[in-house]
Structure 1
Amino acid sequence: MIAKIGKGSNMYGAILYNQQKVETENGAVLLLNRIPDTVDGRYSVAYFNRCFEPYLSANNKTEKTVRHISLNPDPKDKVSDEQFTEMAQDYMERMGYGNQPYIVFKHTDIDRTHIHIVSTCVGIDGKKIPDDYDHPRSMAICRDLETKYNLHKATEQEQKQANKVFKPVDHKNGDIKSQIASIVRHLPKYYSFSTMGSYNALLSLFNITVEEVRGERNGQAVNGLVYVALDENGNKVSNPFKSSLFGKDAGIAWLQKHFEQAKVKMKTNPARSVLKNTVELAMHTTSNETDFKKQLTEQGINTVVRRNNEGRIYGITFIGHESRSVWNGSALDRNLSANVFNDWWNNGNKPELKTQDNPVSKTNAIDNQPTKDLFEFIPQEHSQNFDMGLFSLLPESQCVDYEEEQFANRMKKKKKGRGL
């Protein structure tokens, strides 16, 4: 089992990410710890968010107050809801969060059922719960849980697969060829994308673009790809590198097979409905492009917009990092096409709110549910002013936080050093 610990400052974004999966029947609430249940057992993002307010508003000086943890058993493990609940309680107790409010969500939208835990590292007294050794403790707990529940042990190779780190190309660091190689040789093995445009959108997150080259050699047609590094503004900053320099997995023949396989796989991918609803919610709760992109980033989704020289939007792509899938807007829904966003952001014509199957009403319709004795869970009231900064499943480099693997590698190096 692999644990990932996300640290951020926007509780609303963390809850929204998980509750959206519940609303689309790709998730469920398994446990509430020190959070009052509602009379009918129904919840909303706003309701959950209010339950954390006393802790967040008591905060003295902690910047990243939110803890967003995922526990990921092997896909072959059959874990019941009761076992997931027990694991979460055991894990949080041993991590020092047993007396904190937290919510345990089960996710079923990808091929491995797993759980997410949303909590805060700030106690009701405003003091931060120490987290200096979070990752080594987390790893030790996971090993114990594997034994206790007879789970498959996470091998070194499986941890590397699950925790692959991709860093954007930095042309100032030199050796651009090696930087590009470390991404294009492996990225297609982890993400599903069905067109060259969606592949390019994914590569753009890592400051790379790929171009198709056609020509003729010795009377025969030649068709290939070249990769070019980009700067932070999307400008080309390197010579083109032939795909053959990076192996067959970076070439056009292999990618075309990937496109066809991804088309079949993505037709039945449950992440599609989750992503669609999340994007629609962002459309109706933001007023401009910057806020729209920020809200989706907080939920592990990148937005790549393509404009022509006149500024017209001719393409929009959404990249879901948890489902590791890349979707053109029109493939999600005709109401999420590039033309719709061009009309909104360039012409000021914001799309009208749907009246049927509306994710906004689903998410916020239960804001004022009566509770079962709120004060049993929250000792005292505080002001409602609390931090609503950026929470993201992704760090600044726009890839997943894989500190557990990095820590394991450091420990191995230390052990080797002792043996010399």
Structure 2
Amino acid sequence: MVAKVISGKTIRGVLSYNENKVKEGTAACIRAEGFPVKADELGFNDKLQTFLDYQLLNSKVKTNAIHISLNFDKSDRLDKDMLEKIAETYLDKIGFGSQPYLVYQHFDAAHPHIHLVTTNVKVDGSRIDLHNIGRDRSETARREIEIDFKLVKAQGRKQDNEILKPADLTRAAYGKSETKRTISNIVNAVVRSYKFTSIHELNAVLKQYNIIADQGKEGTLIREKNGLRYSLLDKKGQAIGVPIKASSIYGSPTLKFLSGQFELNEMRRESHGQRLRTVIDAFEAKPGREFSDFVKHMVANDVYPVVRQNEDGRIYGLTFIDNTTKCVFNGSALGKSYSANGIQERFKIEPDKKDPTMPRLPVKEYNEKQTYSISDADPRLENLDLVRQLTEANVDHSNTPYDLKKKKKRKGRSI
């Protein structure tokens, strides 16, 4: 955990910064302590007035606005309750436990982090000394909290970790890598990085790495118990090996956990939908264009579409994976004109002529219906790095250039 303490002279500015993030959909006020009502019942003026009332108790204190950010490692799994508890513990340890404070959970970075807003003017008019608060009280509190809450320790690690890149992952290869560890590594990395709102959207990313999240068929025990398991997929897209229960792998990405992520991601991705709409709107309709031209346009803008097509050649569904914002959207979620039908009507484009080599979705839930492969859309994309490979969705498992190839053994630690 990394803690940053900033003191200032205007509580309005600090409050406005966080409230604007809330309006943008990239933050949420998850706790209000020392206020007359709960966080979700407070307006901007209610929050501001409470702080001003405290500050008026000692007008001589000019530096009276405290803004703290607590930043956690990407691998720390922290829900709302845990974040609230950490905030409470931290403020108590640095001497602000009795002060009014607000906790904002921000979603605008790859790592979990919260912002705390408070004042150093106490209810009796005295002030909390801020001298060396970062070096002395905050640093001690940080270390103790890392131990108490079993957080990844900041000391000895790079403070500015790189945003997770798919290059950190290894493509799942049945028989070449221990199944459980492989699934755990890939699933956790995808869950941390991407904003998806359904199992279908999650699978759009996972399938590129030959993994699928399976809820079981209707009527099965696993389905009735709301269970979830992860399996490796072979080159034909068929599940192989023993399925791994979600509850048994690191991070426990169970259906219950993911359901919470679905709701959170719905809010986190909301502000990013406009970028996708802008990219789609920029496609220029020309006579004779086919759907593959649209696919190429999207890929050129770092957006990777999963295009679902039935046996008759009709395109009936679209899912977009935006590699820039790490968001997954069904076309219809962006608006009626961004659905598969809407796009075909707007741009007057027709499905490509049926090609016997057109890759097919191998997963039974799609009834063997067809899909475009990004590599088929543009051969030059074969050399994309792993960052782009991960964001490509539902490729052909039988003949794409991304199929696993046997490589010479290299010395060193495997992942």
TM-score (norm. length: structure 2): 0.43
Q: Which has the higher contact order (CA 8 A, sep 6+)?
A: 1
